[in-house]
Amino acid sequence: MTALYVRTRLWWEKAVSRFAEVWSDEQGATVAEYALILVLIAVALITVLGELGRALEDRIRNVIEELPATP
């Protein structure tokens, strides 16, 4: 789990660094394009994680229902 966190953190820092480089550049259209791409990625992640959460919730609920009731 730690390795996943480290990889994600490094990826995020690299992405932020690249975005900062692009933002400081004078090419406004490029900045707008990157911003749009980042927004689309964020929307996709929110959608995927929402679906994943619902799927996990359903599986956990099924497991709980299969457990025998204890008095």
Instruction: List the chain pLDDT tens, one digit each, 71 residues.
Output: 677 777 887 888 888 888 777 666 566 667 778 889 999 999 999 999 989 998 999 999 988 888 887 65
CA 45 vs CA 9, 28, 66: distances in Å: 16, 26, 31
The whole domain housing 53 covers 2-66
- For residue 24, the model assigns a pLDDT of 67
pLDDT at residue 13, as a whole number: 84
Q: Does some domain include residue 43? A: yes
Amino acid at 68: P
* Domain count for the chain: 1
Q: Does any domain span residue 7?
A: yes
Residue 71 lies in a domain: no
Q: Is residue 52 in some structural domain?
A: yes
- How far is the CA of 13 from the CAs of 6, 18, 35, 59, 61, in angstroms? 11, 9, 16, 34, 37
- What's the DSSP call for residue 68? P
| 46 located within any domain | yes
Name the token pair of 33: 């394009």
Q: Identify whether 24 is part of a domain.
A: yes
